[in-house]
Amino acid sequence: MDHKVFPRYSRCEFIFHFIEKDTSRHHRLRTELRQFDPLPSNVKVSPHHGEFQDVIEGVSESLDSRNRRLAPTLAFVDPFGVSGVPMELISKFLDSRKCELFLILMVDHLNRFLSAEHMRGGRDSLFGTSDFSEVEAAPAGERIPLLVDLYKQQLCDVAKFQYALDFEMRRASGTVPTTWSTPPAASPESRSSKTLCGRVEVASQVWCNGGVGRRFGW
């Protein structure tokens, strides 16, 4: 909160929305956020307790009712699994040239359960399509890059993002397979591993849209 940008842009308002559906995690989040008090006068923090979709729809409706558009936004979406983040919602909410999305796509989880009946609804909604024929036709070991490409393609086709870049997160052990990543110049920091039924879960991050691409010269 002592970042120099806050006083420098003293006439701008910086709003941080946090969305957490789990009650105990939401309480913990509020506790963590209190550490930053007192906030600079042009910074507001808003921890929401609820489903991502409901909160985002509420914010959109509030803006619509006041005939306002979303301010330039960086949305960091980091759910567990694949449900609750529909492409349709991403498309509608970030429908502005100055909005950017940084999303963690749980590709290993998707790959394992690609055609499982219980995953289909969440999978199709996340990607905004039910056509996974190309991915399903590929050998299991080659599906992950296809899933990442499909998600990026959908971001461009459905949500009209101008740019999409993917890179993979590495565990501290550095054991993540690297056959498909397109790392940016600066790699993301290592994170602790997540395991799923004894397997390391691979997450791909997709970062996209015009503003950030132009700034970084991609």
Ligand X SMILES: C[S@@+](CC[C@H](N)C(=O)[O-])C[C@H]1O[C@@H](n2cnc3c(N)ncnc32)[C@H](O)[C@@H]1O
Pick 146 or 206: Cβ nearer ligand X: 206
Q: Would you say 89 and 131 are in contact if contact means Cβ atoms under 8 Å apart?
A: no
* Site membership for ligand X, residue 122 (CB under 6 A): no
- Residue 200's CB: how many other CB atoms inside 10 A? 14
From the CB of 200, what's the least distance to ligand X, in Å?
15
Pick 135 or 170: Cβ nearer ligand X: 170
Residues with Cβ within 8 Å of residue 49, at least 6 apart in sequence: 20, 21, 23, 26
CA 158, 161, 167, 171 torsion-angle sign? negative
Helix ranges (H only) for 68-205 are: 87-93, 107-112, 117-127, 133-137, 143-157
* Site membership for ligand X, residue 21 (CB under 6 A): yes
Find the binding residues for ligand X in span 54-113 (CB under 6 A). 78-80, 84
From the CB of 13, what's the least distance to ligand X, in Å?
23
From the CB of 19, what's the least distance to ligand X, in Å?
5
Query: Long-range CB contacts (< 8 A, 24+ apart) of 59-64?
Result: 59/17, 59/93, 60/92, 60/93
Instruction: End-to-end CA distance of the chain: give it in Å, rounded.
Output: 29
Contact residue for ligand X among 17, 30, 51, 60 (CB under 6 A): 51
Pick 84 or 128: Cβ nearer ligand X: 84
Contact residue for ligand X among 52, 93, 163, 207 (CB under 6 A): 52
# binding residues, ligand X (CB under 6 A)? 11
* Site membership for ligand X, residue 22 (CB under 6 A): yes
From the CB of 156, what's the least distance to ligand X, in Å?
24
Stretch that binds ligand X, among 17-25, 67-75, 129-137, 163-171 (CB under 6 A): 17-25
Tell the burial category of 102 from Cβ atoms under 10 Å away from its Cβ (0-12, 13-18, 19+): middle
- Interaction site with ligand X (CB under 6 A): 19-22, 25, 51-52, 78-80, 84
